Amino acid sequence: MSALTLRSVAFQPIKACLFESVKRPAISQSFDWVSGLIQAQTEQVLSQLTEAEKAQIERHFLCSTMVELPFTTGDIAWSEVAQKLTQQGLNNPDTYINAYECASWGYSLRHYLNYAKPEQSRFLLVSILDANFYDLTFWRYNENWHESGFGVTTILLEVTKEVTNELITQCALTHNSMAEFATVVRRTVTGKEDVCLALPFFPEHIQEMFNKLLAKQWRLPDLHHRWGHCFGSDPWLSILCHSLENPPLEDQKYMAASLALNGYFAMAEVVVNQHTQLILNEEAAYV
């Protein structure tokens, strides 16, 4: 039995061209809008928890790959965003991590598992935000991963026993990160025929590498054609879409895996079952 159960997974797609039909507002205003989406999604994700269970949520990380420029330029400060989020609800994120790019969720989880007190470590929330706040062309499409997809993902994980080999955080040693990642993925699921892989979404020429290196492994389909590359959200969106189409009747193990452009990667083995709350919202647009 895996130590991590996915109690809830939600994805809120966000329009790629956020300000196509409206004048681009001040960044603080658009960030307030996105904070509202995070707050609403957090409430959705926790809606099936009892009050006693909610009291056991130790913390909530907000991760990202590409949302950094508003902080770099000093237009907004995380302390102000976090303060507003705290005022809006008890379980909103208070920690912002993007240094590990698409693998940030896994490194956050690692830190949590290392430092949370055992009596407080039952529930963890991780949100992943990627939104094109400046409508920049590079973030919509580039040669690394072609089309991008934007949105907010929130996962609620329950730690049911001590986590040992269910979480892997690593960094490639060479500059052929993709092949190293695929090799570690393959090694990790060797002998685990009941674990299904949920991998990042990439365009076809990169998928080819997975098709070769992971030909015999059980994988969820790549949804790049539908969603684009949604950064750290991909494996969670993959599990969400598959589970919505094929509602789980019993425990199903997945290996959620993300790879960052600089070679950091994270993998977590999680259980999805008939009690996992699955939430896919309509695309949100700034109006």
Q: How far is the CB of 103 from another protein (least distance, A)?
A: 10
Element housing 182 (H / E): helix 177-189
For the chain, give percent helix, strand, coil, nearest 5.
35, 25, 35
Comparison of 228 and 239: residue with beta carbon closer to another protein: 228
The answer to whether 98 contacts another protein (rule: CB under 8 A) is yes
Distance CA 101, CA 159 (A): 24
Among 71, 88, 183, 277, binds another protein (CB under 8 A): 71
Minimum distance of another protein from residue 241's CB (angstroms): 27
Using alpha carbons only, what angle is made at residue 199 by residues 195 and 203, rounded to the nearest 5 degrees? 145
Nearer Cβ to another protein, position 42 or 243? Answer: 42
68 binds another protein (CB under 8 A): yes
Q: Long-range contacts: 281-286, Cβ < 8 Å, 24+? A: 281/10, 281/11, 281/12, 281/13, 281/41, 282/13, 283/13, 283/14, 283/15, 284/12, 284/13, 284/14, 284/15, 284/37, 285/14, 285/15, 285/18, 286/15, 286/18, 286/19, 286/22, 286/25, 286/30, 286/33
Our finding on whether 138 is near another protein (CB under 8 A) is yes
**Shortest Å distance, C-beta 215 to another protein:** 29
94 binds another protein (CB under 8 A): yes
* The dihedral formed by the CA atoms of 55, 85, 267 and 220, expressed in degrees to the nearest 10: 100
239 belongs to the binding site for another protein (CB under 8 A): no
Least spacing, CB of residue 194 vs another protein, in Å = 28
Q: In this complex, which beta carbon is closest to another protein, that of residue 33 or of residue 134? A: 134
- Give me the amino acid identity at 249: L
- The mark string for 5-24 relative to another protein (x by CB under 8 A, - otherwise) is -------------------x
Residue 165 touching another protein (CB under 8 A): no
Which residues sit at the interface with another protein, rule CB under 8 A? 24, 59, 65-66, 68-69, 71-74, 77-79, 82, 94-101, 107, 110-111, 114-115, 117, 134-138, 142, 169, 171, 262-264
